[in-house]
Amino acid sequence: MVDKKLSGAGLRGQVAGETALCTVGKSGSGLTYYGYDIKELAEKVSFEEVAYLLANGELPKQAELDAYKARLKTLRGLPQALKDVLERIPADAHPMDVMRTGCSFLGNIEPEEDFSQADAKIERLLAAFPSILLYWYRFTHDNVRIETETDDDSIGAHFLHLLHDKKPSKLHTDVMNTSLILYAEHEFNASTFTARVCASTLSDLFSCVTGAIGSLRGPLHGGANEAAMDLIRDMKDADEAERTLMGMLERKEKIMGFGHAVYREFDPRNDIIKGWSEKLAQEFGDSRLYDVSVRCEDVMWREKKLFPNADFFHASAYHYMGIPTKLFTPIFVMSRVTGWTAHVKEQRANNRIIRPSADYIGPAPRQVPALANR
């Protein structure tokens, strides 16, 4: 796998544009946002600082950060019309579909009327996504209409507070902060490219983000964190994990949460979230899921030279924090909206409509036969 040449299918390895936002698989640990290494960001800053960085190109000074966080707090409330829509989405809908609808509907009642409003709409979406998700989730699952305006200092804490109806511990707040930083941006991945294609038609921000959510939903992309949890949930111990994976590999099944379209040997986000998963396992007092995950990692590298991507250890980490599995990928949305929208702005600033060509493989030219002769 390490030596595999990238072929052109899926546009792999082809340059499809320029970006100043992010490097994937290049210098340092392999991932930087505006030149800052992901490891250093994950250690030293808050997700809100990263969101500000992606929106503005520089980290905020203290006063800028305070003002930014204060603004985001004021944008957590949802209009009644949106709450009405959320209440009509059934409990068994997929939460990614709820995010997609919530985003699209907000675009109807608070549209981006011209591009000068982009920054305000980006802040609105960033602040509103946890509220959209959890207003729907708590209404349909717990039969309560929650107040979505909390005074939590961070988006991660706000999310956990709305979910569990109490302020989260410092450990859980820190894990959410790191997780949101790790998921924020990743160059021309499928969902971001979707957003850029949409932006290149000069469409509005809500359309770009709605399309991106649709692309992120699939199990080959963001949906892999949920799929990874489905894989490990019932594994009793590491030996069972090994047996299950060996069987799956023999049957040539895909193991969700492993492999990557660009990284060849490791995903720099994995070690970081894996470390948090281990800490959470200790706090939880049951390391089964962590041990099972470590064995999966060992088996996949030994057998296929495949490594866990950002999604794999997120599964156990989120589970230890009591987050329902079907909410895993929407958390990715809550974070990646920063990267998507930064790319939309970058595309708009230097735009040409994205419209590639195709090699034709269909029939040679022919005449339309009469209906009776077909």
Ligand X SMILES: O=C([O-])CC(=O)C(=O)O
Ligand Y SMILES: CC(=O)SCCNC(=O)CCNC(=O)[C@H](O)C(C)(C)COP(=O)(O)OP(=O)(O)OC[C@H]1O[C@@H](n2cnc3c(N)ncnc32)[C@H](O)[C@@H]1OP(=O)(O)O
CA distance 122 to 206: 9
221 is an interface residue for ligand Y by CB under 6 A? yes
224 contact choice in ligand X, ligand Y, none (CB below 5 to 8 Å, kind-dependent)? ligand Y
255 contact choice in ligand X, ligand Y, none (CB below 5 to 8 Å, kind-dependent)? ligand Y
Among the listed residues 188, 219, 224, 244, the one whose alpha carbon sits nearest the alpha carbon of residue 314: 224
Amino acid at 160: L
Nearer to ligand Y, 242 or 311 (CB): 311
- Cα dist from 180 to 25, 35, 335, 370, whole Å: 20, 18, 5, 59
Which residues from 287-316 bind ligand Y, rule CB under 6 A? 306, 309-311
330 is an interface residue for ligand Y by CB under 6 A? no
CA distance 133 to 186: 23
Which listed residue (186, 295, 319, 345) binds ligand X by CB under 6 A? Answer: 186
Kindly state the number of chain residues that form the binding site for ligand Y, as judged by CB under 6 A: 19
Q: Which residue has the tokens 């709450």?
A: 83
Q: Are the C-beta atoms of 150 and 158 separated by less than 8 Å?
A: yes
For this structure, is 161 an active site residue? no
261 is an interface residue for ligand X by CB under 6 A? yes
Q: Long-range CB contacts (< 8 A, 24+ apart) of 53-56?
A: 54/21, 54/184, 54/185, 54/338, 54/339, 54/341, 54/342, 55/119, 55/122, 55/123, 55/338, 55/341, 55/342, 55/345
Single out the catalytic residue among 158, 161, 186, 260. Answer: 260
Nearer to ligand X, 177 or 215 (CB): 215
Q: Closest residue (Cβ) to ligand Y?
A: 259
257 contact choice in ligand X, ligand Y, none (CB below 5 to 8 Å, kind-dependent)? ligand Y
Min CB(248)–ligand Y separation in Å: 8
Nearer to ligand X, 25 or 57 (CB): 25
List strands edge to edge, sheet with 22-24.
22-24, 31-33, 36-37
> Side-chain half-sphere of 252: how many Cα atoms within 13 Å?
0
Instruction: Dig out the tokens for 288 from the structure.
Output: 């089964």
Which listed residue (310, 317, 321, 323) binds ligand X by CB under 6 A? Answer: 310
Q: Which residues lie near ligand X (CB under 6 A)?
A: 24, 186, 189, 261-262, 309-310
Q: Which residues are catalytic?
A: 260, 311
Q: Which residues lie near ligand Y (CB under 6 A)?
A: 1, 4, 12, 220-222, 224, 254-261, 306, 309-311
